[in-house]
Amino acid sequence: MRITGGLARGIPLTLPKGDAVRPATDALRQAVFSSLAARVPDARFLDLFAGSGAYGLEALSRGARGGVWVEKNAQTAAFIHQNIVAVCKSLGRDQHDLQVITADAVAAPWGVVPDLIFIDPPYEIIREIAPPVFARLTTCLAAIADPVVVFEMPGEIELLLEGWTCVKRLGRGARQPTASIFRATRAVL
């Protein structure tokens, strides 16, 4: 697994062994960032259920100013730290404005008002965590004119969330990973 675009393109990402992490595929991340291209430079991001940290690292490679990764598993969070070091070295930048929080993504203090939010939870808890996470995002992002949330989920799941509209779905097929791009309903009108 590698960074697929930007200045750190090709940098390999380290992952824990086994099935503790289900990283976003390179092809799906490329599709997401092609769709978000103009929004990434100078953005601040929040990567929830971060796993390898690939979404946030990809944003960083493509010009994001900084952000926060939230990962509950401390061992997995250590891999995010390693990946941040590798990507920052490739970019020739320090780690200022980058933070990894080891905590539950639903309840953790995020410490950032992001422009872009990436959510890639374990698939089996999507229906449980989506409503409280989006309710919290509605409050947290009230001052942001046009917040964008990328939510990875299997193709057979469709989320209808109060205050949010799915404006694009990338990927296809039931049981295949897809990324839904949500915008706040007030921004879509």
Digit-coded pLDDT (tens) for 82-108: 999 999 999 999 998 999 999 999 988
CB of 118 closer than 8 Å to CB of 29: no
- 97 falls within a domain: yes
24 exposure class (CB count in 10 Å sphere: 0-12, 13-18, 19+)? buried
- 15 falls within a domain: no
- 123 falls within a domain: yes
- 36 falls within a domain: yes
Spatial CB neighbours of 53, under 8 Å, sequence gap ≥ 6: 13, 47, 69, 71, 79, 80, 83, 84, 100
In this structure, of 27-41, 45-59, 135-149, the range with the lowest mean pLDDT score is: 135-149
CB of 182 closer than 8 Å to CB of 164: yes
- 5 falls within a domain: no
Residue 186's pLDDT band (cuts 50, 70, 90): low
Residue 117's pLDDT band (cuts 50, 70, 90): very high
In this structure, of 21-25, 124-128, 131-135, 181-185, the range with the lowest mean pLDDT score is: 21-25
Residue-level pLDDT at 27: 85
Spatial CB neighbours of 58, under 8 Å, sequence gap ≥ 6: 3, 4, 5, 6, 29, 33
Report the CATH number that the domain containing residue 110 is assigned in CATH.
3.40.50.150
- For residue 147, list its beta bridge partners: none
Residue, of 15 and 83, whose pLDDT is higher: 83
Residue-level pLDDT at 112: 74
pLDDT at 43 over 60: yes
Task: Give me 179's structure tokens.
Answer: 């990324």
- 17 falls within a domain: no
For the chain, what is the domain count? 1
Residue 146's pLDDT band (cuts 50, 70, 90): confident
pTM above the 0.85 mark? yes
Structural domain span for residue 84: 26-188
- 56 falls within a domain: yes
- 38 falls within a domain: yes
pLDDT at 189 over 60: no
